[in-house]
């Protein structure tokens, strides 16, 4: 009897998790389209869940949108962590993360638009790219790789460049995203004190295959 009750509880938990995930995906789609004034009913219809289910998970639409952005930030951050595990040099970790972020605007356009539509508010977020960039800038400075006098100012420059690059790549679909991301990363590395020849070399090092990664995500 206890085993059956446990199985039923597990099914309920999985159903709740699916409902929450569906609501977050629907919210992210609306945010990506810049539609943040939609009524809750329209969000639940897009998620294919009942109106009552909404309030089992979120107190308000603002609560849902906040969760949707945080989920996007966490997903981006987890991906960067995975793709920089093999690196020890904080300057190269920063460079690879920035180069990958530039490429992800095209490979994950909805995720990109979710982040871009929250704009400069995300430059102070403690989730996603920003805390990782702060960590890497500080570590590279302490290791003598960067000569940065003010980490927060350097972070503001990097975050602004990341958002501006993403918007540029959406506005100019024919622009080479890899070349643009690498050029901006090289410029940031030089600005942060890396010698020009080394900054250029770092930005020409091979990256993980994001096309294969995207296919794996789609298959999942």
- How far apart (Å, rounded) are the C-alpha atoms in residues 214 and 203? 22
Alpha-carbon distance of 181 to 162, in angstroms, equals 9
* Strand segments (E) across the chain: none
- Report whether 73 contacts 115 (CB < 8 A): yes
What does each of the 220 residues of the chain score in pLDDT, given as a tens digit? 555 555 555 877 788 889 999 999 998 888 878 787 889 999 999 999 988 889 999 998 888 888 888 888 888 888 888 889 999 999 999 999 999 999 988 888 877 887 787 766 666 777 777 889 999 999 999 999 999 999 999 999 998 899 899 999 999 999 999 999 999 999 999 999 999 999 999 999 999 876 655 444 443 3
The residue ranges of every structural domain in the chain are 1-58, 62-219
The CA radius of gyration of the chain, in Å to the nearest whole number, is: 20
Global pTM reads: 0.77
144: Cα separation from own chain's centroid: 28
Q: In this predicted structure, what is the pLDDT of residue 120?
A: 64
Q: Specify the residue for token string 């009552």.
A: 52
140 C-beta neighbours (distance < 10 Å), count: 25
Name the class of domain 1-58. mainly alpha
Q: How far is the C-alpha of 25 from the C-alpha of 16, rounded, in Å?
A: 14
Q: Which residues of 82-112 are buried (b: 16+ CB within 10 A; e: fewer)?
A: ebbeebeebbbbbbbbbbbbbbbbbebeebb
pLDDT confidence of residue 36:
78
In DSSP notation, 153-186 reads: HHHHHHHHHHHHHHHHHHH-TTS-HHHHHHHHHH
CATH code of the domain occupying 62-219 = 1.10.357.10
Q: Which residue has the tokens 């966490």?
A: 74
């Amino acid at each position: 009897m206890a085993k059956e009750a446990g199985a039923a509880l597990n099914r309920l938990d999985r159903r709740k998790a699916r409902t929450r995930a569906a609501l977050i995906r629907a919210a992210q789609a609306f945010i990506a389209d810049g539609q943040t004034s939609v009524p809750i009913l329209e969000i639940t219809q897009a998620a294919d869940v009942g109106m009552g289910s909404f309030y089992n998970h979120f107190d308000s639409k603002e609560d849902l949108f906040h969760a949707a952005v945080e989920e996007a930030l966490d997903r981006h951050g987890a991906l960067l962590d995975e793709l920089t595990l093999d690196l020890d040099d904080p300057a190269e970790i920063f460079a690879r993360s920035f180069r990958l972020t530039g490429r992800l605007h095209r490979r994950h356009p909805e995720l990109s638009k979710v982040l871009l539509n929250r704009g400069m508010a995300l430059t102070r977020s403690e989730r996603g790219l920003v805390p990782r960039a702060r960590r890497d800038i500080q570590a590279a400075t302490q290791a003598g790789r960067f000569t940065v006098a003010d980490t927060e100012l350097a972070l503001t420059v990097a975050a602004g460049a990341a958002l501006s690059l993403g918007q540029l790549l959406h506005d100019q679909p024919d622009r080479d995203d890899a070349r643009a991301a690498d050029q901006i990363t090289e410029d940031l590395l030089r600005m942060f004190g890396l010698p020009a020849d080394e900054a250029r070399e770092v930005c020409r090092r091979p990256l993980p295959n994001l096309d294969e990664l995207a296919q794996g995500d789609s298959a999942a």
